[in-house]
Amino acid sequence: MSSSKAEPGRRLPIVVLLSGSGSNFAAIAAAAADGSLAVEVRAAISDRPAAFGLERARALGIPAVAVPVADFPDREQHDAALARAIDHYDPALVVCAGYMRIFTTAFVSHYADRMLNIHPSLLPAYRGLHTHRRVLADHGRWHGCSVHFVTEELDGGPLVAQAPVPVLPGDSEASLSARVHRAEHRLYPTVLEWYARGRLRCEHGRAWLDQQPLETPVRLEDLDGET
């Protein structure tokens, strides 16, 4: 990993991991481009060569790299190749943005305290897949998204921040997902800016913001744009 520390006044080198559409990647890249986020997006890397997020990266002139699962005999070797691809760009932080594979222990420890993830629920509720569908099936009134540091526990690492999103009458999985995505596109750049400015870190299994351990995630209200 880069020896670069998060310091005021410089751009933090990051690599984004994605498996699909890459709208979070695009939001991060846009914030970096307009100067509101002090990161340098060095590459987008995917397990899926056809991921639309890689096309978005190419269109922005950002290196787009596929590390296809099918090219490797097991998870360990795929994750080892993924780590080599990431480390080639020497990032200070790895940003998971819709990367849909579970990491091996070796991979997680290689990036310990240096990897963030965004998840479409108010964790610890609704870990795993199909969160929008499950919230609707439960007739939940609130949904949202969370950013957390990555540990071995699936969707279970130290929480940093959350944006609640209301479930509205008549919502479908698609309409709720779109509202959560809008919140994600504001939540993730906000949290990344804290990290890039040296305000956020993960230490001893806890997230720290402005030198204080976070007992509960920061709650960012009204990040869903038009509800």
User: Measuring CA to CA, how many Å separate 110 from each of 45, 87, 147, 206?
Assistant: 17, 10, 20, 17
Q: What is the DSSP secondary structure assignment for residue 158, as one 8-state letter?
A: P
Q: In 3D, which of 138, 131, 218 has the Cα closest to residue 180?
A: 131
The mark string for 171-200 relative to ligand GAR (x by CB under 6 A, - otherwise) is: ----------x--x----------------
Written as six digits, the tokens of 143 are: 């949904």
Q: Scanning residues 119 to 138, which ones bind ligand GAR (CB under 6 A)? A: 119-120
Up-side HSE of residue 19: CA atoms within 13 Å toward CB? 12
Candidates 20, 49, 63, 198; binder of ligand GAR (CB under 6 A) is 20
- Measured from the CB atom, is 114 or 185 closer to ligand GAR? 185
Ordered alpha helix ranges (H), the chain = 23-33, 52-60, 75-87, 105-110, 131-137, 173-196
- Residue 104 touches ligand GAR, criterion: CB under 6 A: no
Q: Which stretch binds ligand GAR (CB under 6 A): 4-12, 19-27, 30-38, 136-144?
A: 19-27
Distance between CA atoms of residues 201 and 218, nearest Å: 14
* Active-site position among 78, 88, 110, 119: 119
Give me 102's structure tokens.
């579970």
b (16+ CB within 10 A) / e for 145-166: bbbbbbbeeebebbbbbbbbbe
Taking alpha carbons only, the member of 95, 94, 91, 66 closest to residue 81 is 66
Mapped onto helix, strand or coil, the DSSP state of residue 67 is coil
Asked if 57 touches ligand GAR (CB under 6 A), the answer is: no
156 binds ligand GAR (CB under 6 A): no
Q: Is 119 a catalytic residue?
A: yes
Name which position in 15, 18, 116, 167 contacts ligand GAR (CB under 6 A).
18
Q: Which of 23, 46, 104, 190 is close enough to bind ligand GAR by CB under 6 A? A: 23
47 binds ligand GAR (CB under 6 A): no
Q: Which stretch binds ligand GAR (CB under 6 A): 17-25, 73-81, 195-203, 210-218?
A: 17-25
Residues touching ligand GAR, count (CB under 6 A) = 16
Q: Does 157 bind ligand GAR (CB under 6 A)?
A: no
- Point out which residues bind ligand GAR (CB under 6 A): 18, 20-24, 53, 97-98, 118-120, 145, 155, 181, 184
State the catalytic residues: 119
